């Protein structure tokens, strides 16, 4: 983890960016210290503050802090109970005609507030457990696989194992992804995507063994760092926070500005091209608090507003741990973006973002079993427990929920090329289109995908995407995707 000192940002061009594993994305995993950003970022803050925005941002900060404090206090008491948990087989509303499942209103509201959820029993327990056994066998047969840490592997640079292909294409997982993506909406009808047609994003898997203390991902947000402020399209996602002074109206589930942003301006190894509404993983083992599991900050709206406003304020007494509201003052424009690097994930710690009280408010997931699916919003602060004090491995496959939209189906076409190129790493990952799993013993082909939609979700096969319950604009989008992927 990065040291708990007040820090600004650095041009992250260390040797870590040349690594071929997950550590390439996280300065803290490579003991890289944060330094000041270049002076040009003073101009970026000046641009954000132009036309009277300074007073709006001051007012937003002042009104946010007491509400944030109140809800953080609640989270500190509830801990894992603050993460919505529901059963895929029992708690969903089922459409009698289509069979589509949706969340009841109360559960939907809870997920929108938290930004995260545990969905129980998406995959049969025995099937999910077998995927772990198969993955372990694949790793054993191919000891040259790249992994982190290299001496005691936990996260494997595997994307095309039989287990992963079968899991991503499983009809129940795809249906669950569609259901939770339905929580998103748009206030701009000119923006088109289809959440009922999830696409498949190839990602890694993790097998963390008891006693591990090396896979210590501290609190962070994926999908870029400084890009949230620097890229105009990305920044527009947060107009209610930075531009309009209406942070209480900010809707984390409005995708109207999400499709054309650049979350990877500095070519981070591991930057995500696809728009992931939710990051996610599928459990292959039973794991719970203290057993090396995921932790989240379960207040997506408040955390996002705070992170976006934080660069413009500093403690009067120089002590960031003094979080009393009267100790903080507006200081912009500066080149200070706390714990922010170029070409890396956005990392946070108790000193860089003190009002979040991360020492207490990062809560572990409740106990999960094989076949449970965990999701967290693309802007969620999340981390991994620093130690695995359990008795059994903590194993998951990373499988995000990604809708059909233009940027996603165009990436899918490139991802398909990597798969068909002897199992090369996908474009978003270290050493893309390199040797990857070429020549691996037991590497499978698309023949293991027996679900027709599962094939389509990977851009494979001959059948095209189809959904009759779409608007004209959505049908046009689907036609374009079919033409791009299947002709």
Domain edges within the chain: 9-403
Q: Is the pLDDT of residue 107 over 80?
A: yes
Closest CA to 216 of 66, 37, 398, 23: 23
Between CA 135 and CA 127 the distance in angstroms is 12
Between CA 207 and CA 131 the distance in angstroms is 12
Between CA 218 and CA 460 the distance in angstroms is 37
Closest CA to 278 of 307, 299, 253: 253
- DSSP string across 244-267: SS-GGG--TTB-TTSSS--S-TT-
Give the whole-number percent of the chain exceeding pLDDT 70: 92
Report CA dihedral (340, 225, 201, 296) to the nearest 10 degrees.
Answer: 60
Between CA 49 and CA 151 the distance in angstroms is 48
pLDDT at 4: 31
Instruction: Tell me the Ramachandran region of residue 435: left when phi exceeds 0, alpha when psi lies from -120 to 50, beta otherwise.
Output: alpha
Between CA 155 and CA 22 the distance in angstroms is 7
Q: Where are the alpha helices (DSSP H) in 116-198?
A: 125-141, 162-168, 171-181
Q: How big is the CA angle at 415 (ends 20 and 165), to the nearest 5 degrees?
A: 90
Between CA 453 and CA 464 the distance in angstroms is 9
Q: Kindly report, residue by residue over 286-301, the tens digit of the pLDDT.
A: 999 999 999 999 999 9
Q: Is the pLDDT of residue 141 over 60?
A: yes
Q: Kindly report, residue by residue over 328-347, the tens digit of the pLDDT.
A: 999 999 999 999 988 888 99
Q: Is the pLDDT of residue 23 over 80?
A: no
Does pTM top 0.85 for this prediction? yes
Report the DSSP pairing between strands 116-120 and 85-87. Answer: parallel
* Mean pLDDT along residues 168-191: 95
Give the whole-number percent of the chain exceeding pLDDT 90: 84
Which secondary structure element, helix H or strand E, spans residue 232, and what is its range?
helix 232-236
Between CA 411 and CA 199 the distance in angstroms is 10
Which secondary structure element, helix H or strand E, spans residue 268, and what is its range?
none
Residue pair 3/333 in contact (Cβ under 8 Å)? The answer is no
Quick one: angle between helices 472-486 and 406-420, nearest 10? Answer: 20
Length in residues, the chain: 487
* pLDDT category of residue 25 using cuts at 50, 70 and 90: low
Question: Maximum Cα–Cα distance for the chain, whole Å?
Answer: 65
Q: Kindly report, residue by residue over 59-85, the tens digit of the pLDDT.
A: 999 999 999 999 999 999 999 999 999
* Mean pLDDT along residues 244-249: 96
CATH code of the region 9-403:
2.60.120.330
Quick one: angle between helices 53-78 and 40-49, nearest 10? Answer: 100
Burial class (CB within 10 angstroms; exposed 0-12, middle 13-18, buried 19+) of 296: buried
Q: How big is the CA angle at 261 (ends 13 and 26), to the nearest 5 degrees?
A: 30
Burial class (CB within 10 angstroms; exposed 0-12, middle 13-18, buried 19+) of 470: middle
Beta bridge partners of 382: 220, 296
Which secondary structure element, helix H or strand E, spans residue 408, and what is its range?
helix 406-420
């Amino acid at each position: 983890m990065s040291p708990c000192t007040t820090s600004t940002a650095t041009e992250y061009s260390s040797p870590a960016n040349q690594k071929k594993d997950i550590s390439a994305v996280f300065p803290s995993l490579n003991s890289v210290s944060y330094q000041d950003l270049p002076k040009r970022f003073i101009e970026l803050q000046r641009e954000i503050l132009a036309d009277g925005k300074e007073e709006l941002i001051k007012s937003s900060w002042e009104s946010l802090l007491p509400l944030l404090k109140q809800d953080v206090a609640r989270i500190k008491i509830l801990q894992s109970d603050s993460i919505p948990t529901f059963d895929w087989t029992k708690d969903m509303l089922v459409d009698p005609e289509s069979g589509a499942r949706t969340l009841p209103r109360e559960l939907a509201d809870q997920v929108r507030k938290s930004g995260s959820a545990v969905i129980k029993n998406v995959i049969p327990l025995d099937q999910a457990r077998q995927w772990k056994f198969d993955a372990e066998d694949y790793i054993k047969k191919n000891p040259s696989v790249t992994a982190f840490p290299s001496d005691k592997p936990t996260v494997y640079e595997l994307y095309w194992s039989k287990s992963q292909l079968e899991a991503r294409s499983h009809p129940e997982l795809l249906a669950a992804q569609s259901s939770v993506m339905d929580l998103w909406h748009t206030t701009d009808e000119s923006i088109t995507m289809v959440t009922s047609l999830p696409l498949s994003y190839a990602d890694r898997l993790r097998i963390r063994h008891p006693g591990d203390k090396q896979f210590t991902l501290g609190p962070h947000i994926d999908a870029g760092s400084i890009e949230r402020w620097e890229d105009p399209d990305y920044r527009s996602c947060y107009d209610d926070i930075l531009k309009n002074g209406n942070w209480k109206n900010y809707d984390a589930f409005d995708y109207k500005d999400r499709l054309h942003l650049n979350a990877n301006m500095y070519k981070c190894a591991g930057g995500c091209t696809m728009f992931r509404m939710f990051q996610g993983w599928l459990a292959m083992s039973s794991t719970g608090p203290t057993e090396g599991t995921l932790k989240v900050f379960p207040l997506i709206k408040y955390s996002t507003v705070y992170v976006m406003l934080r660069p413009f304020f500093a403690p009067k007494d120089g002590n960031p741990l003094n979080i009393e509201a009267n100790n903080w003052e507006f200081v912009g424009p500066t080149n200070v973006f706390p714990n922010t690097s170029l070409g890396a994930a956005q990392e946070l710690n108790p000193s860089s973002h003190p009002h979040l009280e991360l020492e207490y408010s990062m809560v572990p997931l409740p106990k999960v079993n094989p076949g449970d699916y965990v999701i967290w919003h693309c802007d969620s602060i999340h981390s991994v427990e620093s130690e695995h004090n359990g008795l059994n491995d903590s194993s998951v496959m990373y499988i995000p929920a990604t809708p059909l939209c233009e940027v996603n189906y165009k990436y899918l076409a490139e991802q398909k090329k990597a798969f068909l190129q002897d199992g090369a790493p996908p474009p978003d990952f270290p050493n893309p289109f390199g040797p990857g799993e070429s020549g691996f013993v037991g590497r499978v082909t698309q023949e293991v995908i027996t679900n027709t939609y599962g094939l389509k979700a990977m851009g494979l096969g001959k059948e095209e995407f189809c959904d009759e319950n779409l608007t004209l604009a959505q049908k046009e989008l689907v036609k374009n995707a079919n033409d791009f992927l299947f002709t």
